[in-house]
Amino acid sequence: MSDTASKFKMFDILYEDDQVIVIDKPPGVPVQTSNLRMPDMVSEIKKYFVANGKEPYVGLVTRLDQPVGGVIAFGKNKKATDCLASQIRDKSAGKEYIARVTWDFDKEPLKAEDTGDLLDYLLRDGRTNTSKVVGKNTPGAKHAHLSYKVIEAGDDEALVRVFLDTGRHHQIRVQFANAGYPLVGDKKYGSEKCKGMTKNVCLACVLFSFRHPVTGKEMIFETEPNFS
């Protein structure tokens, strides 16, 4: 296996061998899109493979929302892709996020070292590409659970490390907004206060771990959050 730490156009390659490629996705770029005028990560990785004489197979394992940056892995063949996808399903793969959240004056401020759990039921609306918190018995509702630890806290903002127990659509953004701590820059779920604070939502996948699909070795990749 060959380890690389190079750049190709819009993304950093954190690791690559003949089975997987792991990149640091920039915020604002979709993982995959049908809009031919907009670049996406799958298309750009295929271009990178072709430019280097490699098979242009890019196996989608997991996604990050368009405004969210951070670590994401792709399989380079069907067997590797299926192996990584099964680890996502059985939760043997690990993902951690860092989010920048805010709150209104009437909300209890978060403090450094605070920890907590958010337990909700979410319902996805495919027509609007949104999710919302609903009652447990709502048809189609799915259980959503995450835990968090506050890393830094100020008067009206905090950095939190987030650990997902479930992987629901827009889960982190929806659950924190519902709890009264919307993510800074979240134009879809945030309050009017936070929508114009940054270009993209302040959320990044900072750690992704999995077992290598051939060797079984544990692979851990980390990056710094990019909230540009």
Tens-digit pLDDT string for the chain (228 aa): 344 434 555 789 999 999 999 999 999 899 998 777 788 999 999 999 999 999 999 999 998 999 999 999 999 999 999 999 999 999 999 999 999 999 987 889 999 999 999 999 999 999 999 999 999 999 999 999 999 999 999 988 999 999 999 989 999 999 999 999 999 999 889 877 766 667 789 999 999 999 999 999 999 999 999 887
What DSSP letter does each residue of 47-71 carry, written as one string?
Answer: HHHHHTT-----EE-----TT-EEE
**How is domain 7-95+208-222 classified at the CATH fold level?**
Pseudouridine synthase (3.30.2350)
Name the pairing type of β-strands 69-75 and 203-211. Answer: parallel
Q: What is the pLDDT of residue 23?
A: 96
Q: Which two tokens stand for residue 220?
A: 């851990």
pLDDT for the residue 194: 66
- The C-alpha atoms of residue 97 and residue 104 are separated, in whole angstroms, by 23
| pTM score | 0.90
Model pLDDT, residue 227:
86
* Extents of the domains making up the chain: 7-95+208-222, 96-203
Domains 7-95+208-222 and 96-203 share a fold: yes
CA distances from 213 to 12, 81, 87 (A): 22, 8, 10
Q: What is the pLDDT of residue 197?
A: 66
Write out the two tokens for 9. 């156009």
User: What is 96-203's CATH topology?
Assistant: Pseudouridine synthase (3.30.2350)
Q: Measure the CA–CA gap between 113 and 92, rounded to whole angstroms.
A: 26
Amino acid at 21: I
- List the alpha helices (DSSP H) in the chain: 41-51, 78-89, 171-178, 192-195
Strands 20-25 and 59-60: unpaired
- Return the closest-CA partner of residue 220 out of 210, 165, 212: 210
